Structure 1
Amino acid sequence: MISFCLSVVALVLGYILYSKFVERIFEVDPNRKTPAITMRDDVDYVPMPEWKIFLIQFLNIAGLGPIFGAVAGAMWGPSAFLWIVLGSIFAGGVHDYFSGMLSVKHGGESITEITGRYLGDGMKQFMRAFTILLMIMVGAVFIMGPAKILNDMTGDIATVTTWVWGILIYYVLSTVLPIDKLIGKLYPLFGVALLFMALGLSVIMFTDGYVIPEITLASLTNMRTNAESYPLFPMLFVTIACGAISGFHASQSPMMARCMTNEKQGRRIFTER
């Protein structure tokens, strides 16, 4: 449990100290008007309260991938602690922050357009094609995964197919409706529920005496039962990709960049992992 507590402390210190350094590198200007103000259209560009943007971004990051990935990655042993903590501080948090803030700086542009701005038109076209392919695969997982979970939770109320259609309809509505009409209302509720769940699990871990392996030189080995088939490198880093660094989050950050009213909000919103 000591290693777990130290990991939490390291993440908090990373936010307090390292994120300020990253913010200085970006050269935030609190007096510069954001796209939510200069390009407001009440559809995609809608000023929203910071707490609401935080919860939406939090839910974007803490989806199926980060949760299931970290759970599956625990099978490799305490090495997962180091990758999650160091990856989140020095890779994932920085990646998400710059993805969001570059979008703020460039009128709420998506990651594909920002890539083209700095790396040329050829790379922009490649990123567009890659993003479409990625979205299809991620969309399939994010439909089937929640559908199966809801089906297991509700029993015979509905079939998996019914839940799939319900989730698909929700995705379509959240895409075509103004961001504050559906996403802005439901995501904060789900975000609060997720925080409550995390707090509840933390309390149970301490009160019920769960044993978590400590980080030692001897424990930094592959602890899976079939270690030969699942080597520590690269399988651990692939399994806990979303939990430490994920390019997919860059596709979500511009959504929130179009709703921020001050660049100083970026550090609290985009480095929350």
Structure 2
Amino acid sequence: MDVLILLIVCSAGYVIAYNTYGKFLANKIFRLDYNKQTPSVTLEDGTDFVPTKKAIIFGHHFTSIAGTGPIVGPAIGVIWGWLPAVLWVFLGSIFMGAVHDFGSLIISMRNEGKSLSEIAARYINPRVRMIFFLIVFVTLLLVISVFGVVIAAVFTQFPNSVIPVWAQIPISIWLGRMVYKRGFSVPLATIIAVILMYVSITIGGFVPVTMPAIAGIPASGIWTILLLIYVFIASALPVTVLLQPRDYINAWQLFIAMGMLMLGVIASTIFGGLNIAAPAVNQNLPAGTPPIWPFMFVIIACGAISGFHSLVASGTSPKQISMKKDALFVGYGSMLLEGLLGLLVIVCAVAGIAMGFETESGLLTGTDAWNNYYGTYLGASGLSGKLAPVVNGAANMMNSFGLPHTLGVTLMGVFIASFAGTTLDTSVRLQRYIITELAGDFKIKPLTNIWVATSFAVITAALLSFSNGTGGTGAMTLWPLFGSANQLLASFALLLITIYLKKRTRLGWLCTAIPCLIMLTITNWAQVDNFRKFNSDNKIFLAGISASLLILTAWVFIESLVVFFKTKNTESAAAKSAGA
């Protein structure tokens, strides 16, 4: 009953937050003008700028920002106890993550759908733009390279997910064609697409696919190559052909999965067996576990706040929102839904897993089951180890209303791989935007071409992926830096939004300035700790990058501080004329 009450209270809290704080931000702080046209209308080109129905753009935006982040992060973060993880996800998503996402979306829509890097040049200075570009480029490079490895690992761990994930491509193309070319009913097309998706999942359950090594390249390397070829094509096509409809049906996959998990919580509560096995605050941390301050706030990123979201909110989404009134639903609402997903993952990891699972030594339940996974620091394990408590916990809860455990595991495998795929698609497209914007500024004409810029994005990712051999795992060398770099990007986005609001509101900029200062403190604290650890472990390369990030952070903060104090409030006429 405690788990069910927790989810009911948090869900109600999200609804209240959306209708109070969210609308306050939209109407009083950002002063949305619902009569003004959006970039998708004024700059419509049929490829990237495409006016889109609210439900479809919400699905695209949500699946793009989610990925595996709200799954892996909370699964690791509960090691410090379920209570701090729940509080960070719940409060962080309302007052930090959703504000960050919504603010990034609005300032991009008010600047022709440009990226944060380009906007930084307008509101701070060109030097800061280059720092933004460098951090954004490296962040996306890591995401593209690593998510290829993640999907390859999921395909290996869940071979039943291979057919359903690849089957989503023709289903999505059919959906996009029927809606945009044939004028087919969106609800009817959605129902057919979702049914086809679950038919493919059923087929995949009976037909697992295992990739063999080819020409001396292991399965992980083959999958990485195939995925990079796919995203090269998918990210250069018009968004309505594949990216948007695929994200949309994946969003429905998420809604159904979350509904099944909620039903599992209710059924498990009614029939008994769903109890929190993890401590509220863990006082006996396993050896090697970093301190909760600041690392929980870096490890649990998606679900609370994540810098990657600002790239989507200032990349693909502002080019597709057709009406200003949809911005709150897409920008603020999707982050709250991701927070709810993060909370469901926490429940799977601290209660669902305790319902029991078989090991070589027999059935483990309760605290024994939880300790089996969290008796060591989960963050140091491979991807399969990080996903195991969530996947098995979710399958346990869904089994409580009659869904076979093996089918539950397959559904979760497809769910995870699909979300990683949507993030991979979007990341390559975002990288292309970044490259073409910078190329346009520096008059490098070849790189302004869609196919050339996309090729550059994919080739650089491939070089990083195969830098350590044919396995395609080269990016994992730099992955320890991603968490802090990602949250540093969130800090920079909040800093930029704060400067933007300083000129337009008297005190409204405090809504982003306070989260910005919190994130800057946490991020730099983590960076310093990382630098010390890398240095003591003689990892000179990683230590050097950490030191560079600290220097860049100080540089951006000082430059932004100067601009902030020089900026005068021109609230009345100028602020109103800037409304979007």
2:167 is aligned with 1:106: no
What is the aligned partner in structure 1 of residue 87 from structure 2? 82
What is the aligned partner in structure 2 of residue 13 from structure 1?
16
Whichever residue aligns with residue 101 of structure 2, its letter is D
The runs of 5 or more residues in structure 2 that have no matched partner are 160-207, 212-218, 336-580
Amino acid at match of 2:325: K
Aligned counterpart in structure 1 of residue 320 of structure 2, from 240, 259, 265: 259
> What are the within-5 Å matches in structure 2 for residues 144-155 of structure 1?
144-154=149-159
Shift, 1:176, TM fit: 1.0
Residue 263 of structure 1 deviates from its aligned partner by: 0.8
- Give the whole-Å Cα distance in 1 for the aligned partners of 2:8 and 2:287: 27
What residue in structure 2 maps to residue 63 of structure 1?
Answer: 67
Offset, 1:224: 5.6
2:222 counterpart of 1:162: yes
Aligned-partner SS, 2:316:
helix
Task: Give the C-alpha shift of residue 5 in structure 1.
Answer: 2.7
- What's the CA shift string for 1:192-226, capped at 9, x where partnerless? 11121111112112212322379xxx93x335632
CA distance in 2, matches of 1:230, 1:133: 25
- For residues 167-199 of structure 1, what are the alpha-carbon distances to aligned partners after superposition, in whole Å with 9 as ceiling and x for unaligned? 212221222111111101211111111121111
Query: Structure 1 stretches (4+) deviating beyond 4 angstroms?
Result: none
Q: Are positions 1:171 and 2:174 aligned together? A: no
| 1-structure distance, mates of 2:300, 2:326 | 28
- Give ranges in structure 1 of 5+ residues lacking alignment: none
Structure 1 residue 164, shift from structure 2 partner: 1.7
* Residue 130 (str. 1) matches residue 135 (str. 2): yes
Shift of residue 54, structure 1, vs aligned partner: 0.2
Contact 1:115/1:127 (<8 A) preserved: yes
Across the aligned residues of Structure 1 and Structure 2, the Cα RMSD in angstroms comes to 1.9
1:7 and 1:213 map into 2 onto residues whose CA distance is 20
C-alpha displacement of 1:37? 0.9
Contact persistence 1:14–1:89 (CA under 8 A): yes
- The equivalent residue for 1:191 is 251
CA–CA separation in structure 1 for the residues paired with 2:284 and 2:319: 44
CA drift of 1:142 comes to 1.4
Alignment pair present for 1:211 and 2:275: yes
How many angstroms does 1:102 deviate by?
Answer: 0.9
* Matching residue's letter, 2:143: V
Amino acid of the structure 2 residue aligned with 1:211: N
AA partner of residue 122 (structure 2): R
Match of 1:23 in 2: 26
Aligned 8 A contact 1:75 1:224 in 2? no
Report the alpha carbon displacement of residue 228 of structure 1 after superposing the two structures with TM.
7.3
SS of structure 2 residue aligned to 1:176: coil
Letter in 2 for 1:43: T
Contact 1:222–1:231 (CA<8 Å) still a contact in 2?
A: no
How far is the alpha carbon of 1:227 from its aligned partner? 7.1
- Quick check: which one's helix share is greater? 2
How far, CA to CA, are the matches of 1:185 and 1:225 in structure 2? Answer: 44
- What is the aligned-residue identity percentage? 30
TM-score under structure 1 length normalisation: 0.92
Q: For residues 72 and 3 of structure 1, what CA distance do their matches in structure 2 show?
A: 20
Q: 1:168 is matched by which residue type in structure 2?
A: L
Q: Using the alignment, how far apart are the partners of 2:294 and 2:95 within structure 1?
A: 19
Distance in structure 1 (CA, Å) of the matches to 2:94 and 2:256:
23
Equivalent residue for 1:117, pick from 107, 119, 122: 122
- Shift in alpha-carbon separation, 1:242–1:223, aligned structure 2, 3 A: farther
Matched length: 269
Q: Contact (CA 8 Å) 1:55, 1:191: kept in 2 or not?
A: yes
Distance in structure 2 (CA, Å) of the matches to 1:160 and 1:208: 37
Equivalent positions of 1:200-239 (< 5 A) are 200-209=260-269, 210-212=274-276, 219=280, 221-223=281-283, 225-226=285-286, 229-239=289-299
